[in-house]
Chains A and B, each alone.
Chain A
Amino acid sequence: MGAVHAKSLDPLPMHGRDLGVNPDDMIEVPEPEHAAKQEILENKDVVVQHVNIQGLGRTKEDLLGHEISDVFHAKNLIDVMKKAHMARQKLLRLGIFKEVEVLIDTSEGAGALPNGLDVIFEVTEVKRLTGSYNTMVGNNEGSMVLGVKLPNMLGRAEKMTFQFSYGTKETSYGLSFFKPQPGCFERNLVLNLYKVTGQFPWSSLKETDRGLSAELNFPVGRSSHTVKWEGVWRELGCLARSASFAVREESGHSLKSALSHSMSVDSRNSAIFPNRGALLRINQELAGYTGGDASFLKEDFELQFNKHLFLDSVLSASLWGGMLYPLGGHSSCIADRFYLGGPTSVRGFGMYSIGPQSEGDYLGGEAYWAGGLHLYTPLPFRPGKGGFGDLFRTHFFLNAGNLCNLNYGEGPKAHLQKLAECLRWSYGAGVVLRLGNIARLELNYCVPMGVQSGDRICDGVQFGAGIRFL
């Protein structure tokens, strides 16, 4: 809970430290027993008169008013402690303080009420500049990653981060500026400038993106929304001389200028092993109306339900889907299409190796859906219970999905029929490990079914690591 110091309201013994307080000024007669003292603390009405923040350097005070305003509404001492604790959490989540200590004291000075309290937050600001340097070694390549962060740049919790990665195969960088609205941290603006390179061996494609984006995040009720504009200069090329001609035809430069909106409602109690709750995420992107070459409308959604069953096991059902509609008569670009398959989506198939392909290179598709049904249970015989063993789960899964190109001239019934035919599905069991609160590792034994010609399967043991799993 951190350091919370509370000086008691009870008067000190007469022969103790001399506070210069006349015993007749006491509001009530103190009880000598400890148990009775507690009772008094809980029932006693108090008024919070002052809330101070000490230790501010470059932080502007108007930023913090909203975070600490709730403390003024506390009615008794326990309430004060709870609200002070919550205010402390709010101050820490701004990311501008290294340490926050709360001190609750009786009011002093002129105008001090007898039941008045002062709450003082003693803060230590983070340094102006923090840097990090890492070396990474990957598949036949090594790189040096340099990170620089300027937290609380202008005093109102703005943050500027810069990351630069210089490697044997590629160079990439990213510059990001984050500005929250003073008084409402969840409403914020993020500006990004980046260059990233990606290699996609399943399509024999390499892609270099140089872009900038501006996004606005804001909550509406229980949902959080993001509105973003992104301008990207994409350069596509063949990864090997043996790439198929369909991929070779997509090589070259294009410019995508897109507006996107995304809405997310998350009532799960955890991102990785939720016991209950649901997640709904809907994302749409419109490209072409703000300039650029690429012109399309893209929709995709993600749905997940979790239900706690008997004996610590959880049943989880998820559904993903998406559609890409090219506008203006152009055909879609390989970099915009959807991909399916692999340890993070339909297990039992190779990475992104489902759907339309040409000479072994997967081209992606314009419409897809994927569903999964999972049963998570603790490890059998629960080794390491209460500690390390809680990071693991066994899971039994059933995955299904399809990826194809739709003929947009036909009606919705024809689309549904096309998505339903040639269904790929798989089942199996495995062990899942949680990494922090973001990622998970899986080791599964999979049996793929409904395999179409052209799909690449990975039956037997499959390993997967990632953030977003079906």
Chain B
Amino acid sequence: MSLAAEAFVSQIAAVEPWPENATLYQPLKDDQILLSDCASSLAVQTYLRMCGLPVQVACKANAEYMSPSGKVPFVHVGNQVVSELGPIVQFTKAKGHSLSDGLDDVQRAEMKAYMELVHNMLLTAELYVQWCDDSTAAEISRPRYSSPYSWPLNHILAYQKQWDVRRKMKAIGWGGKCLEQVYEDVSQCCQALSQRLGTQPYFFNKQYVTFLSHSHAVRSLPNKASAELTNPRVQIIIARTLSELVHHIVLPARAIIYPQGQDDRLGVSIKLS
């Protein structure tokens, strides 16, 4: 967002308290949503829950087009619509809720760096695997993405999205990478996170968890949707290098998001060495 828009949003946001009927919109859970969108949505949900802000989740087939920036998830709060994690964090900060208050400047900078790492590495890798790998794209991504639409619109929209993502990958320099290189990069990223975590329960003090990374980890683990990923190597990499991460973050995170144990997505238990 531009500086002027940011200032405007913060001013408007600061005035009203968080309403009861705030809603988060994401694509249809069972048939349509893809790995990367699901991870982003989980990240936002966890953040809001950790801040203690109530939010309902609504699934809409056209959530991506409803969003003002074209990316899911987005929240509808009062009469404001804010999309993506970064702007949502700023929006809640303007309302006075924040998780990073206890951090000093150095830690905050470190936190931002790690968030950028997760965002640039894990999210981009997810997009790469989903759309640039031909078999995954043909068997999972395209059919799921276009499932709410009828012929021939489903093919048109799916191919349009694939071209868009591939163009974006080329623009950031990932176009020339092959799948093995991507797995290498993911592995390195996970190792860096694992090292940072060490044996502590959280990345930074008690209140602040890099929910983004754990949400990606949670999503990357075998479940009904991603079990169909043709190459399960991603799960193995993450499960191996993130053993601590899984123990200390994934399981508590599941408890946060699904307090009543409603999570039925994990169909396979993880063996950790």
- Residues of chain A whose beta carbon lies under 8 Å from any beta carbon of chain B: 233, 237-238, 241, 245, 248-249, 251-255, 291-293, 359
Q: A238-B68, A252-B62, A293-B149 are in contact. List 18 more A-B contacts (CB 8 A).
A: A233-B153, A233-B156, A241-B68, A245-B76, A245-B81, A249-B60, A249-B62, A249-B66, A251-B65, A251-B66, A252-B64, A252-B66, A253-B157, A254-B153, A291-B151, A292-B150, A293-B150, A293-B153
| B190 is an interface residue with CB less than 8 A from chain A | no
| Measured CA separation A208–B79 after assembly (Å) | 26
Residues on B with C-beta less than 8 A from A238 are 68
Closest to B153 in A: A255
CB distance from A210 to the nearest CB of B (A): 9
Residues on B with C-beta less than 8 A from A245 are 76, 79, 81
**B122-159, CB < 8 A from A:** 149-153, 156-157
B96-137 to A contact mask, C-beta < 8 Å, 1/0: 000000000000000000000000000000000000000000
Residues on A with C-beta less than 8 A from B65 are 237, 251-253
CB distance from B104 to the nearest CB of A (A): 36
Residues on A with C-beta less than 8 A from B76 are 245
CB distance from B68 to the nearest CB of A (A): 6
| B61 is an interface residue with CB less than 8 A from chain A | yes
State the main secondary structure of chain A at its contact with B.
strand
Q: Which of B61, B81, B156 contacts A252 (CB 8 A)?
A: B61
Can you name 8 A-B residue pairings with CB atoms under 8 Å? A233-B153, A249-B66, A251-B65, A253-B157, A255-B149, A255-B152, A293-B149, A293-B153
Interface pair A253/B79, CB less than 8 Å apart: no
Closest to A292 in B: B150
B41-80 to A contact mask, C-beta < 8 Å, 1/0: 0000000000000000000111011101000000010010
Residues on A with C-beta less than 8 A from B79 are 245, 359
Nearest first, the 8 A-B pairs at minimum CB distance are A252-B62, A252-B65, A255-B153, A251-B65, A251-B66, A248-B66, A293-B150, A255-B150
| Measured CA separation A17–B9 after assembly (Å) | 98
| Measured CA separation A248–B79 after assembly (Å) | 12
Residues on A with C-beta less than 8 A from B153 are 233, 253-255, 293
Residues on A with C-beta less than 8 A from B149 are 253, 255, 293
| Measured CA separation A359–B78 after assembly (Å) | 13
| Measured CA separation A245–B151 after assembly (Å) | 28
Residues on B with C-beta less than 8 A from A249 are 60, 62, 66
Closest to A291 in B: B150
Residues on B with C-beta less than 8 A from A252 are 61-62, 64-66
In this complex, which of A252, A255, A291 has the most chain B Cβ atoms within 10 angstroms of its Cβ? Answer: A252
Residues on B with C-beta less than 8 A from A255 are 149-150, 152-153
| Measured CA separation A233–B76 after assembly (Å) | 28
Closest to B76 in A: A245
CB distance from B140 to the nearest CB of A (A): 21
In this complex, which of A238, A241, A255 has the most chain B Cβ atoms within 10 angstroms of its Cβ? Answer: A255
